[in-house]
Structure 1
Amino acid sequence: MQIKNELRKLYKLKRKSVINKADKDKLISEKLYALEAYKSCKTVLTYVSLDDEIKTDDIIIHSLKAGKRVAVPYCKDDMGNMDFYLIDSLTQLSIGSFSVREPDINECERINSFNDSIAIVPGLIFDKNGYRIGYGKGYYDRFLNEFNGISIGLCYDELLTESLPIDKHDKNVDILITPGTTICNRGGKNG
Structure 2
Amino acid sequence: MTINERKQALRKQVAALKRAHSPEVLAERSREALRRLEATALFQAAGCVALYHALPGEVQTADYLTRWYGRKQLLLPVVQGDDLILRPYAGPESLRQGAYDIWEPALSDASDDSAKPDLIVVPGIAFDRQLNRLGRGRGYYDRLLSDLSLPCVGLAFAFQLFDSVPVDAHDRRMTAVVTDEEVVE
TM-score normalized with structure 2 length: 0.90
Could you say which residue in structure 1 is the equivalent of 2:7?
Answer: 4
Aligned to 1:188: none
* Aligned counterpart, 2:68: 63
C-alpha displacement of 1:112? 4.6
Q: Tell me, in whole angstroms, the C-alpha distance in 2 between the residues paired with 1:100 and 1:108.
A: 20
TM-score normalised by structure 1 residue count: 0.88
Say if 2:28 is the partner of 1:27.
no
1:82 aligns with 84
* Aligned position for 2:143: 142
Q: Corresponding residue for 2:98?
A: 96
Gaps of 5+ in 1: 185-191
Residue aligned with 2:69, SS: helix
Letter matched to residue 176 of structure 2: I
Letter in structure 2 aligned against 1:45: A
Deviations 1:8-37 (A, max 9, x none): 122112112135212211111111111121
Shift of 1:86: 0.3
Which position in structure 2 is the counterpart of 1:174? 175
1: CA distance between counterparts of 2:112 and 2:85? 7
Q: Tell me the equivalent position of 1:187.
A: none
Instruction: Indicate conservation of the 8 Å contact 2:79/2:85, yes or no.
Output: yes
**Matched residues in 2 for 1:181 and 1:153: separation?**
12
**Could you tell me which amino acid in structure 1 is paired with residue 157 of structure 2?**
Y
State the alpha-carbon separation in 1 of the partners of residues 34 and 5 from structure 2. 33
Once the two structures are TM-superposed, the CA of residue 110 in structure 1 deviates from its matched residue by 5.9
Could you tell me which runs of 5 or more consecutive residues in structure 2 were left unpaired when the two chains were aligned: none
- CA offset digits 1:58-82 (Å, max 9, x no partner): 221122142x1111011111x3x11
May I ask how many residue pairs the two structures share in their alignment? 180
Deviation of residue 118 (structure 1)?
0.8
Q: Secondary structure at the match of 2:146?
A: helix
* Farther-moved stretch of structure 1 (45-54 vs 1-10): 1-10
What is the root-mean-square deviation in Å for CA atoms of aligned residues?
Answer: 1.6
What residue in structure 1 maps to residue 109 of structure 2? 107
Partner letter of residue 181 of structure 2?
G
Please say if residues 128 and 164 of structure 2, whose CA atoms lie closer than 8 Å, have aligned partners that are also in contact. yes
CA distance in structure 2 between the partners assigned to 1:89 and 1:22 by the alignment: 21
Task: Give the AA of the match of 2:172.
Answer: K
- The 2-side partners of 1:129 and 1:23 are apart by 26
Structure possessing the higher relative contact order (Cα contacts under 8 Å, 6 or more residues apart): 2
* Maintained 8 Å contact 2:85/2:144: no
Partner of 1:111: helix, strand, or coil? coil
Aligned partner of 1:189 in structure 2 is: none
From the superposition, tell whether residues 109 and 161 of structure 1 become closer, same or farther in structure 2 (CA, over 3 Å): same
Residue of structure 2 in register with 1:121 after alignment: 122
